[in-house]
Structure 1
Amino acid sequence: MTDPLTNLSAFQELAARRLAGFSHIAVPDAPGMRRAGVVICVVPGADGPSVILIKRAYRGRNAGQWGLPGGRMDSGETPEQAALRELHEELGLTAGPGDVLGRLDDFPATSGFAISPIVVALPEPGPLQPSPDEVHSVHHVSLARLAADDTPRWVPQLEGGRMLQMKLGPGWLVHAPTGAMLWQFREVVLLGREVRVADFVQPDWTSK
């Protein structure tokens, strides 16, 4: 059997099947809530299929933070449409509805956004063209790294609960919201476990 952690076609088949059987939770509308769509975009990588992460440009909202390609939904857009539009605007990658494998839970961020993660696979993504206005740098994390036992770290908090850190490389720790969405992707899609993430603790600086 081909390993979906090392073979993109096998990943696409597995992800489509598992996401089809996953009932995502949508955050209901509320006064003042804003909505965003982001893409968990799987592409070929040097170490096997990889997810694209970005470090945001050092200006504006979320300056310098780790994130997934994506952004605010425009009026009349679906989360999928917003996520794919932002993928093109931020990285120059074109994806259509046929590239979408499914959707994970909305994440209610402390910034006031409900973030909808859309899972996409691009076997032939073409060259990246990062927008300097929005993207400081582009990084890849392999599916094998995401699935590794030592990737999630749980840090106890003084006020109770635990904060998730996704250890994606040396000195590379990603927290909620992005870390929470990557953890749910890991658990649901890569490992076949049904988990929820809406109550994950977020660092104070993610609300700015």
Structure 2
Amino acid sequence: MPAPSRDGADPRTDRAALADRLRAFPVRPLDPAGHRASAVAVAVADDGTGPGIWLTRRAATLRAHSGQFALPGGRLDPGETAEDAALRELDEELGVRVDPGQVLGRLDDFATRSGYVITPVVVWIGAAPPLRPNPAEVAHVHFVPFGELDVAPTYSRIAESDRPVIGLPLVGTLIHAPTAAVLHQFTEVALHGRPTRVAHLEQPLFAWR
């Protein structure tokens, strides 16, 4: 196990280590034909106790997927890359503006049952700034430390699919795919350097709409 750095930080989770693992991971993109292209930001920040990511709960007033747990993100605007969209949504939803040079890499595209192809973009924030959640989109923001994120997923079955339904026990509840699939792959790839795939993982029925 690597020795801690002088400030007590785990060198496995510093910016360079995360970027190296993401760079070594052969990302699998998907053709968005027939789906709406979108992106989410896996934003790595340090709240003063160590690194983690921001997980949001969507506002109850949203037309699609209201009240569900999600990563900051949304549809790509015309001419945008996934990185452009992830950074724009991070600003629009949480009030966090980040330079494009802070992007560390991508994870596999994930096709959702509701008609989207999601591109997860990993972004290095550094010291967590004050957040300004947009109440029209975000009901609550959770900071999930890496120690809590690195948790064994649960798997269940539904009659409508032969694929396993993934769940992640986080923030006092069970987070489902697509968010659970993205976070599980981030943990496997960026924190452990394991080339784990998640495209085969299923979403619960309420996420199909």
Q: State the TM-score, normalizing by the size of structure 1.
A: 0.91
| Residue 10 of structure 1: how far off its partner (Å) | 4.4
Conservation of the 8 A alpha-carbon contact between 1:6 and 1:49: no
Quick one: distance in 2 between partners of 1:10 and 1:63?
A: 32
1:24 corresponding residue in structure 2: 27
Give the alignment's Cα RMSD to 1 decimal: 1.9
- Say if 2:88 is the partner of 1:102: no
Fraction of identical pairs, as percent: 41
CA offset at residue 2 of structure 1? 2.8
CA distance in 2, matches of 1:202, 1:47: 32
What CA distance in whole angstroms lies between the structure 2 residues aligned with 1:8 and 1:106? 28
Please report how far the alpha carbon of residue 163 of structure 1 lies from its aligned counterpart in structure 2 after TM superposition. Answer: 1.4
Runs of 4 or more above 3 Å deviation: 5-10, 156-161
Question: Could you tell which deviates more after superposition, 72-81 or 151-160?
Answer: 151-160
What does residue 163 of structure 1 align with? 165
Cα distance change, pair 98–8 in 1 and its aligned pair in 2 (3 A): farther
Q: 2:49 and 2:123 mapped to 1: Cα distance?
A: 18
* Distance of 1:198 and 1:6 partners within structure 2: 32
Do the aligned residues in 2 keep the contact of 1:8 with 1:44 (CA within 8 Å)? no
Per the alignment, residue 14 of structure 1 pairs with: 17
Q: Quick check: 1:39–1:120 contact (8 Å CA) kept in 2? A: yes
Check if 1:203 corresponds to 2:204: yes
Q: Which of 109, 114, 134 lines up with 1:111 in the alignment?
A: 114
Q: 1:143 maps to which residue?
A: 146
Partner of 2:43: 41
Q: Deviations over 1:73-130 (max 9, x none)?
A: 0000000000000000000001111111110000001111000000011113421000
The whole-number CA distance in structure 2 between the counterparts of 1:160 and 1:35 is: 25
Q: Whole-Å Cα distance in 2 between the matches of residues 71 and 157 of structure 1?
A: 27
- 2: distance between equivalents of 1:8 and 1:70? 28
Q: Which residue, out of 129, 133, 137, partners 1:130?
A: 133
Superposition deviation, residue 46 in structure 1: 5.5
Q: Which amino acid aligns with 2:154?
A: R
What SS does the corresponding residue of 2:127 show, helix, strand or coil? Answer: coil
| Whole-angstrom CA distance in 1 between matches of 2:10 and 2:134 | 29
Q: Which runs of 5+ in 2 are unaligned?
A: none
- Distance in 2, matches of 1:41 and 1:29, equals 23
TM-score where L is the length of structure 2: 0.90
Hey, what's the Cα distance between the residues in 2 that align with 1:6 and 1:117? 25
CA distance in 1, matches of 2:49, 2:28: 32
Partner residue of 1:54 out of 49, 52, 56: 56
How many angstroms apart in 1 are the aligned matches of 2:30 and 2:196?
Answer: 16
Preserved contact between residue 79 and residue 116 of structure 1 (Cα < 8 Å): yes
